[in-house]
Structure 1
Amino acid sequence: MGVVTHEFEVISPLPPTKVFKAFVLDFDNLFPKVVPHAVKSIELLEGDGGPGSIKKITFAEDSQVKYVKQKIEAMDKQNLSHTYSVIEGDALMNVLEKITYETKFEAAPGGGTLCKRICKYYTIGDIEIKEEEIKAGSERQAAVYKAVEDYLLANPHLYN
């Protein structure tokens, strides 16, 4: 098994606690409502939503990825960090054992939030992942992030 690591950052004008609440604590309710063209439903299969919990995310009909199962590895509400792994589904493309996302929301210089994400792709055997595939995944995530951010900006009363 090999591990390919990819890091990316996104800056938001919203405060870190608001972003954490929306993107982590209320993810299951918010995402299907805000990005129904991407996320059809999110279902808690095991646990209470905290570490050890397993969720099934079903994507929109026209998505090339139909579903994934995520396992919540860690959640630190005090430090606004969250780690989860994709453990099953089309996104693994029969070449990955899992994908782990470590996300930290912190105050950005000049205000807002700096969202730092480290993605670790655990390959099966000696299979190599193309940089274009990783970049395309990051771009899709950034587009969804932006859509949710726009929703929060249009609804400033949420997650205060």
Structure 2
Amino acid sequence: MVMKEAKAEAKLGVEIETIWKALAKDLRFIIPQLMPDTVEKIELLHGDGGVGSILLFHLVHKEEAMRSQKERIVEVDETKHELVIQVLEGNVLKRGFSSFKTTFKLSPLSEKESLVDIKVAYETEKDGEGEQARMDAIATAPPLYFLQLLENFLPTSNT
């Protein structure tokens, strides 16, 4: 299996420190509020919420086997505004991925706007040119959707 990377970016009308606090500090509290139809709650299984912490996502799903996902916080870099989260077990690994790690890198565009670069490093069980384009799209859709919800949830600088 070969490690592949999918990249995407999102421009948010929220200042960088507000987004950073939401991602790096309050993520486990915000996600169930943003996605109540998908995530019931997030339990901290190990750690203090920083690097090495393991989060258990309790998901809303009909199938018992699809009701949880375990993720580890791999990196939190305050100076670079970079957060890396790796899926250890769960739904995404049942959809053709054998490993899945997402990096969020924040950059200020202005006082009221931020750019979030998303990089998803993953391995798949199948290979092929057409397959990679499909898996890239599957890999980047959830973080892009999450950031869209987050932008609508967070207070904007111009309120």
The change in CA–CA distance for 1:12 and 1:94 in structure 2 (over 3 A counts) is closer
State the match for 2:79 in structure 1: 78
User: In the alignment, does 2:47 pair up with 1:52?
Assistant: no
Measure the CA separation in 1 of the matches of 2:66 and 2:16. Answer: 29
The equivalent position to 1:146 in structure 2, one of 139, 145, 148, is 148
2:47 is matched by which residue type in structure 1? G
Using the TM superposition, give the Cα deviation of residue 144 of structure 1 relative to its aligned residue in structure 2, in angstroms. Answer: 2.4
Q: Normalized against structure 1, the TM-score is what?
A: 0.83
Q: Deviations over 1:59-80 (max 9, x none)?
A: 2236995322111111012221
What percent of counterpart residues are identical? Answer: 21
- One-letter code of the match for 1:60? V
Moved over 6 A (4+): 154-157
The 5-angstrom pairing of residues 1-160 of structure 1 reads: 1-61=1-61, 65-93=66-94, 95-108=96-109, 111-124=112-125, 127-128=126-127, 129-153=131-155
Distance 2:157 2:112 in 1: 19
In structure 1, what residue type is equivalent to 2:54? I
Q: Give the match's secondary structure for 1:153.
A: coil
Give me the whole-angstrom Cα distance separating, in 2, the residues matched to 1:104 and 1:10: 10
| Runs (5+) with no aligned partner, structure 2 | none
Measure the CA separation in 1 of the matches of 2:154 and 2:52: 28
Q: Secondary structure at the match of 1:49?
A: coil
TM-score of the two chains, using structure 2 as the length reference: 0.83
> Within 1, Cα distance between the matches of 2:45 and 2:158?
31
Q: CA deviation at 1:56?
A: 0.9
Change over 3 Å in CA distance of 1:111–1:137 after alignment to 2: same
Q: How many residue pairs were aligned?
A: 155
